[in-house]
Amino acid sequence: MVHTPTTSAQATTDLLPIIDLGLYLERPDSEEAIAECKRAADAVRDFGALIVKDPRVTEKENNDFIDMIEDYFDQPFDVKLKDARPQYGYQVGVTPELTEDPKCPKDPHCVDIIEHIPEKNRPLTFHGPDPKWRFFWRVGEQPESTKFPRLNAEPVVPEAFKDVWANTMDTWGSTLHKAVLGLAEMIAVGFGLPKRTFVDMAQYGPHLLAPTASDLNKYGKVGTVLAGFHYDLNFLTIHGKSRYPGLNIWPRNEAEKLAVRVPDGCLLVQAGKQLEWLTGGVVQAGYHEVIVNEATVRVIENKTNDRPLWRISSTFFLHIASDNVLRPLEGVFDTEEARAAKYPKTLTGDQVRMELGLIELLEK
């Protein structure tokens, strides 16, 4: 974590397409829905991200979830630490601050990406592990058997929240799960694939409701990097609206930095590495960072309630099932030999283990 100045003028995600999932849910075979599917596929290809409007999503669910997560992380350090499971690569339970170490400073490819971004739009400089906490909660059906048990471990329920935790996590997690599966169908249709292509591959995946939490009492200074420049290793990532700004994303050309603004009732979706793999790089995993900027500080200074001062993101990671094979999909994304070489046939669980090792969460 390094403190450096931020830039004052910045484009926002108002530039991102807003995809209406309701059109597809109501009449999936209509011309309007098919056109919206094409827009979704184009958006994830061209930007690596989009905004989705799902009529089933309510701000109350998001707020109830964030309230509980704020209260959880406002507990003493040692109380939270009881919920950590390092033996499972922190893939269930809590991940303490200063544990997850973004690989970018150690990755020549990532360093090269940053060097080719115009200087005014580069991510903030950072070194060392992120000061954010995280909690992983499994959502969805579990496989009866798997070669990757550490990626499919039993959930952790915090003692002080045992009466409300599972219901609150499952309620919001199910909402995000349904939304991102609907969008996965739309993207498949938009790319000319059978609509259940991605949904079927994701069945029994180790999906995670994964709220991150940053203590703004400790890390509330402008220029603080809460989550260093990185991409997500999973298939699709979906977020509800955070109470504190600070998330920046880079569209596919990586030349412009966009400050995320999620409209009420909408969700942000980002492409992950597994989607990049399955499309042979036609879709690129989206890079992003979370920082404290002037807008974050303004919200802190204008805060009028007595809620704990923690920045929470209601993040959900949709995964391809651990025992499924990653490779560019035949007949659509497999036409170039270079794709097969860059995205070799591999078990998804092996891809996840490799990525977790690179960010110091799991021994390789």
Within a domain: 237: yes
Q: How far does the chain reach from its first CA to its final CA, in angstroms?
A: 24
Distances (CA, A) of 328 to 64, 154, 278, 320: 40, 31, 4, 13
Does the pLDDT at position 209 exceed 60?
yes
Domains: count for the chain: 1
Are the CB atoms for 220 and 114 separated by under 8 Å? Answer: no
Within a domain: 247: yes
Count of CB atoms situated within 10 Å of the CB of 332: 16
Closest CA to 104 of 118, 115, 93, 92: 115
Tokens of 4: 């450096």
Can you tell me the distance from the alpha carbon of 92 to that of 38, in angstroms, rounded to the nearest whole number?
Answer: 35
Does the pLDDT at position 8 exceed 60?
no
| Residue range 234-290, pLDDT digits in tens | 999 999 999 999 999 998 756 789 998 888 889 999 999 999 999 999 999 999 999
Distances (CA, A) of 354 to 61, 317, 325: 34, 17, 15
Count of CB atoms situated within 10 Å of the CB of 235: 27
Within a domain: 5: no
**pLDDT at position 31:** 97
- Share above pLDDT 70 across residues of the chain, in percent, rounded to a whole number: 93
Does the pLDDT at position 107 exceed 80?
yes
Question: For 30-39, 137-146, 312-321, which range has the lowest pLDDT when averaged over its residues?
Answer: 137-146
Does the pLDDT at position 115 exceed 50?
yes
Count of CB atoms situated within 10 Å of the CB of 284: 22
Neighbouring residues of 335: CB distance < 8 A, sequence distance ≥ 6: none
Q: What is the 3-class SS of 156-212, one letter each residue?
A: CCCHHHCCCHHHHHHHHHHHHHHHHHHHHHHHHHHCCCCCCHHHHHHCCCCCEECCE
- Share above pLDDT 90 across residues of the chain, in percent, rounded to a whole number: 72
68: domain range? 11-358
| Residue range 149-179, pLDDT digits in tens | 766 678 899 999 999 999 999 999 999 999 9
Can you tell me the distance from the alpha carbon of 200 to that of 202, in angstroms, rounded to the nearest whole number?
Answer: 5
Amino acid (one-letter) located at 286: G
**pLDDT at position 72:** 98
What DSSP state is assigned to residue 339?
H
| Residue range 189-206, pLDDT digits in tens | 999 999 999 999 999 999
Higher pLDDT: 90 or 25? It is 25
Within a domain: 319: yes
Within a domain: 326: yes
Higher pLDDT: 221 or 337? It is 221
Closest CA to 168 of 144, 137, 143, 191: 137
Tokens of 142: 């579990």
Can you tell me the distance from the alpha carbon of 6 to that of 111, in angstroms, rounded to the nearest whole number?
Answer: 19
| Residue range 57-102, pLDDT digits in tens | 988 889 999 999 999 999 999 999 999 999 888 889 999 999 988 8
Within a domain: 147: yes
pTM above 0.85, yes or no: yes
Within a domain: 1: no
CB contact burial 117-131 (16+ within 10 A = b; e otherwise)? beeebbbbebeebbb
* pLDDT bucket at 126, cuts 50 / 70 / 90: confident
Within a domain: 3: no
| Residue range 295-314, pLDDT digits in tens | 999 999 999 999 999 999 99
Tokens of 10: 């910045």
**pLDDT at position 253:** 58
CATH of residue 290? 2.60.120.330
Mean pLDDT of 326-336: 86
Are the CB atoms for 19 and 183 separated by under 8 Å? Answer: yes
Q: To the nearest whole number, what is the mean pLDDT of the chain?
A: 90
Angle at 342 between CA 186 and CA 329, to 5 degrees: 35
